Structure 1
């Protein structure tokens, strides 16, 4: 489910694939259901239309009363902890229309007391020039946070580190009955070739009261001297009241109950439930995860989805409690949702073992009767670009925090992220965290292997 932006830029930057036909490799490693579940934090998920070419509403949870396009407003408040995720692309309708598109996120306080919104972590980046889609090795140590490819990769990587970009204030106070902009940022296309640019944004927030939210697209306003300026709060409010949904609309998704034929997942525009998947990976009835037998592995699905559960029958996609009828039925891919997984590994044998932990991108399937399927060489499609974090004690007993930026193509087996020399009966705790990056295609797997 790569975006148009990354697909186009990758096609321009990636050399033609080798004429060698890929061979399917079947790995008979065990697939298990991922323990844990999503929390109940609401996520404002604005990803449709992905390409914004007209001014209008991208996602509004305001009440429809008094609005000129009532169907564009989904009537949902946010209070306490909630997230905002927005991923959109500016592409001019004509080559000469190089106006700057602004992405705005507006919050309204419908109550009678002021509401304070704390911006806990937040990042927003453009494809050009902030985070271009550059070619990176399969795995790069990223403890300094300087390895990224694409705005989604960079934004979620910074939030994973607990950062708040300096363009965001620590707090926004909204007086009773008023609105404030949480985001008012440009997506410029001039002088890019082609005139195409994207912006990925993730914000983690906490409010002291109920607020309505809306994301909108508006072209820059002109100053008397012909230069551009950002839209004002009043101009955003007018657009919210008078506009309809922005166009062009994305492909209409395949109904969830349809189980045959091609599937169109669609782009997400709605309110999802779940900001973080928390899980403790254990053997059944035990307080540890036994390391596999030498030469074998155990895998757990990451962002498994409808018709892509890898034999587990586990659809991890966050449910949507509000959505537009022509947009995705679920938050497939769980973009910008954090996975926090704990693995208390134990070598239950009387022999030393070499254990590796990795992330892999097998072919998407609904069954894995004969094992996970990979391609050699991997397919040309770029399926994952993002940073993962591992916390563990190394072989000297010293605590380690390791960030690794991964790049994986379709059907690609993973390189070891960490290697543990485990003594007989030794326990070792491994914590694995990442935010599923935009511009990626699910599912992936987290694999624990014991080397022969």
Structure 2
């Protein structure tokens, strides 16, 4: 007699896992009040995977450059932000055995140039830059964790956003950079090493908030570590300015970065080109961002109407939500697109800053209990299924969230407790596709009570929009 497994294949013996059921949460979904500010954000995220050195993003003028199309001619003055998020790998992996160890590190350089005839001062308000390995590995974390000290994170983008949310400036960044007339200075000069990693893959996320008292141009560049003619590692005798492993083997010099900027072409390989926004009938490719986005912060006062002063809580057992980071094809029925517009961009990169990576949301909710009895009110962030129009009267979630993580980051919540004492909480969230999430705060509000809740977060890299901010009132006990 043949063994049972030879007669009945394993696939027939193991029943398929049932697909998660969709759960419809009946409620109103509202567009988010407010808008992005006008602070420009230098957004360097394409190509995300960098295997060929070159120019990642340049806002320099094209005059005198070998490849004029690689330069977008956008000057900064006053407040601006710089965001960069790139990864690299040994390609192919056996290159690690053929090349010197220093050659396997790709360096990320960010250069600032003062084109004027007078010196310029650039203040660095907040700044952070971290690697995936070893600074912030992608690890499994609970869906909800208290994160008062900022020690909970998974991934470099998660850690960077948590630092900047707290107003930190990492110690590798000075408080100010002085750029003499007509000269350039390095704002960042750091490696993305892959030596010794399995697989040989690593990434770096960076966010810097700056203010300049004069005009400056900026560029992000990728360059492999430098070696001597005999192939040995080169050690620098002179330190490279700012955010640099001074004297580390292979670190490119300011002159080498300048040469790459003047004579180099765009880094590669190029990402998939985006689908034009008006072509709604085709499969949508959003593309990755390389350009200057219009906006750094979204401030919103959530009230009943534009002239209102309070946000009336839902009736017991009811809820309503506000769209967060809504985008083309994912407005959740609101018709609102929050993605920052691109002031300048490369033709093969995203048409808008879909996802708003690095942009801060400052949301104020002046809650008002207009009922005649005490109520328990919650405020939460949720990750419903993405859709353009709500096909059913409410948001769709999954009974068992999908395996893909769609949001991973820290949120700050400020409110007053039942003793009217101010409280500040930092909560780290990990939400998967279709996950309803847990309350950021539970408020016990007396009849006629008013309570201000403030929710702040920076939209983290590696997150997938949209999300919603939901206000709900617990049902009255029967």
- TM-score, normalisation: structure 1: 0.95
Question: Is 1:226–2:228 an aligned residue pair?
Answer: no
Distance 1:66 1:91 in 2: 32
* 1:158 paired to 2:147: no
Match for residue 354 of structure 2 among 324, 332, 343: 332
1:19 offset after TM fit, Å?
2.7
Whether 1:142 aligns to 2:147 is: yes
Give 1:178's aligned residue.
Answer: 183
Q: How does 1:243-262 map to 2 (within 5 A)?
A: 243-262=264-283
Structure 1 equivalent of residue 200 of structure 2: 195
- In structure 1, distance between residues paired with 2:232 and 2:148: 44
Q: 1:7-52: per-residue Cα shift (whole Å, max 9, x none)?
A: xxxxxxxxxxx93411001111110110000000000000000000
Distance 1:83 1:246 in 2: 22
Q: Deviations over 1:230-278 (max 9, x none)?
A: 1000000000011100110001101011112321100000000100000
Secondary structure, counterpart of 1:417 in structure 2? strand
In structure 1, the residue matched to 2:36 is: 38
Alpha-carbon separation, structure 2, partners of 1:355 and 1:226: 64
Partner residue of 1:409? 432
SS in 2 for 1:154: helix
Aligned counterparts of 1:108 and 1:153: Cα–Cα separation in 2: 29
Match of 2:85 in 1: 87
Greater Rg by CA? 2
- CA distance in 1 between counterparts of 2:137 and 2:308 reads 46
Within 2, Cα distance between the matches of 1:212 and 1:25? Answer: 50
Match of 1:274 in 2: 295
The CA deviation at 1:146 is: 0.5
Q: Which moved more, 1:44-53 or 1:364-373?
A: 364-373
Number of residue pairs matched?
435
Q: Is 1:372 aligned with 2:378? A: no
**CA deviation digits over 1:150-181, x for unaligned, max 9?**
00000011000000000111111100000000
- Quick check: 1:344 aligned with 2:342? no
Moved over 4 A (4+): none
Q: Indicate the residue corresponding to 1:209 in structure 2.
A: 214
1:405, CA displacement in angstroms?
0.3
Q: Does 1:103 align with 2:105?
A: no
Distance 1:81 1:27 in 2: 41
Q: Distance in 2 between matches of 1:401 and 1:260?
A: 46
Unaligned runs of 5+ in 1: 1-17
Cα distance between partner residues in 2 of 1:407 and 1:233: 40
Q: 1:290, 1:20 → 2: CA distance?
A: 40
After TM superposition, give the deviation of residue 91 of structure 1 in Å.
1.4
What do the CA deviations read for 1:106-149 (whole angstroms, capped 9, x no partner)? 01000010011111000000000000001000010001100101
* Aligned-pair CA distance for 1:417: 1.1
Indicate yes or no: 2:406 matched with 1:400.
no
Structure 2 counterpart SS, 1:107: strand
Q: 1:55 aligns with which of 53, 56, 71?
A: 53
Structure 2: gaps (5+ residues): 1-15, 97-103, 234-248
Residues of 2 paired with 1:225 and 1:238: CA distance? 21
Q: Secondary structure at the match of 1:237?
A: helix
The equivalent residue for 1:436 is: 459
Give the CA deviation at 1:351: 0.9
TM-score using structure 2 length: 0.90
**What is the alpha-carbon distance in structure 1 between the residues aligned to residue 113 and residue 385 of structure 2?**
44
Deviation at 1:414, TM superposition (A): 1.2
Change (3 A) 1:225 1:49: closer
| SS in structure 1 at match of 2:162 | helix
CA distance in 2, matches of 1:261, 1:35: 30
Shift of 1:370: 1.8
For residue 286 of structure 1, report the CA deviation from its aligned partner: 2.1
**CA-CA distance at 1:225 after TM superposition:** 7.7
Superposed CA offset, 1:256-312 (max 9, x none): 111123211000000001000001000014210000011111100110001100000
| Aligned 1:354-365 pairs, distance under 5 A | 354-365=376-387
Aligned with 1:235: secondary structure?
helix
